[in-house]
A and B are shown apart, each in its own frame.
Chain A
Amino acid sequence: MTVKELETLIGAKNMTPDAPGDTPVTCGYACDLLSWVMAHGAAGMAWITVQTHMNVIAVASLMEMAAVIVPEGVEMEEPTLEKARDEDITVLQTDKTAYEICAILSAHGLPGKKREG
């Protein structure tokens, strides 16, 4: 699944259309605790979070994630979006809940993050 396909599947609005759409998405994840995500995140991940501050992009970029998904119509602040554009991280916004997004992605074969050890 690519970022572009992900966007279409969940009917999301792409807030960073210039970021590459052909980036492969390897797994999905939902969590709002950034320290937790730092411990369990993975490259290529599509990460669902209601957090919208700059540190979200720092985490996504450091973990080399494919996309950040903001659920339930939550608006991401403009400075955060600017940082996302600088770092080439796709930010998708949708009215669906995190649960609904997970259900759709799972039904289309996107796995959860592989557990270590």
Chain B
Amino acid sequence: MAAQLEKVFNVEAGAYTTAGEASTTIKRTLKQLGASREVLRRVSVACYEVELNLVIHSMGGTLTLLVDPEKVTLISKDVGPGIPDIDKAMTEGFSTANEEARTLGFGAGMGLPNMKRNATDFDIQSEVGVGTTITMTFALE
């Protein structure tokens, strides 16, 4: 994959029916660029989880895809509400998802751990009242 690329997607809070559209477009884009199956799978899982988190937990935000010859980078940036305890949020099984999200089969507390497991590098920064930024990179080798 020799391409350089940057794409930004808006993700609306509470938009459950369209959740996954950004991830599907991102997967399609990477497939067209010739990413391997393994990279596609790992990016797809992490991307869908982070997109779902924006829908379920945030007040809205953006998902940015960056591609360079060495890696794929995904940046999720929202405008709040922020995570009070990141260590707790990273614990498998812990979830603050609401009833609506749980009825749809989300809120198993696997989102953030799933992202960390699939990304080569995972970074999360959050401030209550300001927002959360998650940066994930995926090595192409």
Contacts and interface: CB of A to CB of B under 8 A. Distances in A.
Interface stretch (A3-11, A17-25, A57-65, A95-103): A57-65
Given A38-B45, A62-B44, A55 B107 contact: no
B45 A35 contact: no
B104 interface: yes
Contacts of A55: 16, 19-20, 104-106
A55 B109 CA distance: 17
Nearest to B102: A33
B130 to A, nearest CB: 26
How many A residues touch the partner, as a band?
20 to 34
Given A34-B104, A35-B105, A58 B20 contact: yes
Given A53-B16, A55-B19, A62 B48 contact: yes
A54 interface: yes
Contacts of B117: 39
A58 B110 contact: no
Nearest to B27: A62
B23 A62 contact: yes
Nearest to B95: A35
Interface in B101-129: 104-111, 114, 117
How many B residues touch the partner, as a band?
20 to 34
A38 B23 contact: no
A38 B27 CA distance: 15
Contacts of B19: 54-55, 58
A36 B110 contact: yes
A54 B45 CA distance: 17
Given A35-B108, A53-B16, A59 B114 contact: no
Given A33-B108, A34-B105, A51-B104, A39 B45 contact: yes
Contacts of A62: 20, 23-24, 27, 44-45, 48
B104 A35 contact: no
A117 to B, nearest CB: 11
Contact of B114 (A39, A49, A58): A39
Question: What are the 3 tightest A-B residue pairs by CB atom distance, in nearest-first order?
Answer: A58-B20, A34-B105, A35-B108
